[in-house]
Amino acid sequence: MVHNGEGPGAAASRLTGRAAARERPLSGSLSEVALDGGPVVVVKRADAPGAVAAEVAGLRWLAATDTVRLPAVRGHDTRWLVLDRVPAGRPGPEAAVRFGRALARLHAAGAPAFGSPPPGGPEDAYIGLAPMRNVPGADWPAWYAEHRVLPYLRRAADDGTLDRDEAGVLDRVCERLPRLAGPAEPPARLHGDLWHGNVLWGTDGHVRLIDPAAHGGHRETDLAMLQLFDCPHLERVLDGYRATTPLADGWRDRVGLHQLFPLLVHAVLFGRGYAEQALAVARRILAP
């Protein structure tokens, strides 16, 4: 049921059963609400159909592994999501190692297929504000090209963000994916949108993850996104990860390949600068 004109405080009160004592806006669709006699929560408004369902399903699927830490879901409906607030701490090397270990265990929990959505999650989901379809596939190179690179490449070309010759460069990377992908791996359970803004460093010395675009995928994709947007203490995160689950030979050479997906998503959402980054990565991949 949609409650027209409802604000974040009223939504939090309705979904948790506790009166809202005070509220303050954070950014965009996010607000912080202090509940009467209860915790401080973050209230998120989603205007896209299915966005809340996808996020809640992703949070629950990741939390079911008992590996990475996530904020608890206090309530939700089709438009509003209420989560525990994560008190902000400072990034630290020990927390980074713990996070890396937990992330490795999360990935190892696996998924039924590449592109499989979380149980109860919709096929038509989102990565940030961009639509993202979760369509299962058995072969990672073919699936990655068809469902993670080409949809955003076509949209960027249609919008004029990439011209025809530039789009052709990225098409050639997709054609060569079977040779570029490295050793075959089973589907991993991915956060799916693991840029540093979705990695919250808590005051308790533990990292919590927010805003998943969870699906079955290649574990190197999550790691490549951490590197693309400069996660604090990245090498310590990778140390913890590799101490728990070694990475396949040549993984550093494939970072750019896995970054094409988030770069093209950002090109669609934010324009030419990210398209140029994607082109530079593609040209390095194709260089002899």
- Which tens digit of pLDDT belongs to each residue from 46-94? 988 899 999 999 999 999 999 999 999 999 999 999 999 999 899 999 9
Q: What are phi and psi of 44, to 5 degrees?
A: -120, 130
Instruction: Give the mean model confidence (pLDDT) for residues 98-105.
Output: 98
DSSP string over 174-225: HHTHHHHS-S--PPEEE-S---GGGEEEBTTS-EEE-S---EEE-HHHHHHH
Distance, CA of 266 to CA of 264 (rounded, Å): 5
Q: Would you state the pLDDT for residue 28?
A: 80
Percent of the chain with pLDDT over 90: 92
Percent of the chain with pLDDT over 70: 98
Instruction: Give the mean model confidence (pLDDT) for residues 20-39.
Output: 90
Residue 193 pLDDT greater than 80, yes or no: yes
Q: Which domains does the chain have, with CATH numbers?
A: 8-84 (3.30.200.20), 93-286 (3.90.1200.10)
Residue 1 confidence class, pLDDT cut points 50, 70, 90: very low
Mean predicted lDDT score pLDDT of the chain: 95
How far the first Cα of the chain sits from its last, in Å, is: 57
Residue 4 confidence class, pLDDT cut points 50, 70, 90: low
Distance, CA of 202 to CA of 229 (rounded, Å): 19
What's the alpha-carbon Rg for the chain, to the nearest Å?
A: 19
Q: Would you state the pLDDT for residue 47?
A: 83
Record the tokens describing residue 180, joined without a space. 């570029």
Q: Would you state the pLDDT for residue 51?
A: 93
- Which tens digit of pLDDT belongs to each residue from 201-257? 999 999 999 999 999 999 999 999 999 988 999 999 999 999 999 999 999 999 999
